[in-house]
Structure 1
């Protein structure tokens, strides 16, 4: 799920974009900015999911973010990345959009 999808799903769960911002203790304009393409760290992306109770999604976002930060040209990082991606593949996430 990309950040815009995560925000849309989180807003459906918590009731409004304003409420989501309150839960995160950030300005609502930050949420709008993320949806419009302002850079959002994978940690903040996961925090948005977790604030809406999407814990499984939050964990996957963190693991994917860690994998994406690793380099393919360094053997030890490439192996760690492969391991993280294998974990994600072995434990697919539920579809929150279909549940809510």
Structure 2
């Protein structure tokens, strides 16, 4: 009895494990950024803080998070009547470095 294709199977399994690892990194970083935004979001009624949600697409390879109110941009960037109270950009600035380090760790 002879089994052929073992090398191709092992290569495919290694590739799939790597994709699962990438999906895990995407999910954990998206979730952490979501929590950071919720912690930094200014609260008046709590609507904006509650509107911060995450969504995963592309089979888990893409994660999106952010607020979903009509006024979150005004809070983030300010207006001529109101000073900016950034919560999205500071969360992103912290998380992008963590995400980059996590992905670099996977390639080693």
Fold shared, TM-score > 0.5 on shorter chain: no
Normalising to structure 2: TM-score of the pair? Answer: 0.28
Greater fraction of residues in helix: 1
Normalising to structure 1: TM-score of the pair? Answer: 0.29
Greater fraction of residues in strand: 2
Larger of the two Rg values belongs to structure: 2
